[in-house]
Amino acid sequence: MDLVFATHNTNKLKEVGLMLPKAIRLISLEDLGCRQEIPETGTSLEANAQLKADYITKHYGISCFADDTGLIIDALNGAPGVYSARYAGEEKDSEKNIEKVLTKLRNGASREARFKTVIALNLKNKRLLFDGIVEGTITNEKRGKNGFGYDPIFIPTGYDQTFAQLPGHIKNEIGHRGKALQKLIKYLAKN
């Protein structure tokens, strides 16, 4: 089965590609010739994921899935949340986003957080949503070189290393995107 993953984020594309069974051939937006930035104007992760999937279905007439992920920090009233990629500005600079989070948490506030991923699937005239959540805490400083985004400051519950320190296969197994993707894979296997 060929399936488009509606993302321009090469890190996400690589991570998801490693988790999909060989029966699913992942097609990138680059493969489609789609170079434009797909608008993310929704006010929720669900809305943004669906907007991206709908854009590809409408413009290319092909089955696809899209995701949106947010880091939700209790002490910041759920921020950065749906605005995680643009938390420190429209340029989507991960380093600046991390620095903004660490600066806002310097006052000793609770560091409890969670990552949430929502995947929107458009397949055979159906629109479905799958989600994955991983609980954890925010560190005081960056740790590790693996992963991307907020991975260097997020320690999943039950571990003492950040996502950026853990091997990729562990992150994929316990992480938010991996959990959402497993639900998607189970659905595709039955349909």
Q: What is the dihedral of CA 67, 68, 71, 73, to 10 degrees?
A: -120
- DSSP per-residue string spanning 79-123: -BGGGGGGTT-TT--HHHHHHHHHHHTTT----EEEEEEEEEEEE
Q: How far apart are CA 169 and CA 142, in angstroms?
A: 20
Q: How far apart are CA 91 and CA 115, in angstroms?
A: 21
Q: Choose the catalytic residue: 31, 54, 68, 131.
A: 68
Token pair of 141 as six digits: 């400083």
Please answer whether residues 66 and 120 qualify as being in contact, where contact means their C-beta atoms are separated by less than 8 angstroms: yes
Q: How far apart are CA 56 and CA 31, in angstroms?
A: 13
Whole-angstrom CA distances from 91 to 13, 73, 158, 174 are 20, 21, 33, 29
Tell me, yes or no, if 68 is annotated catalytic.
Answer: yes
The residues assigned a catalytic role are: 68
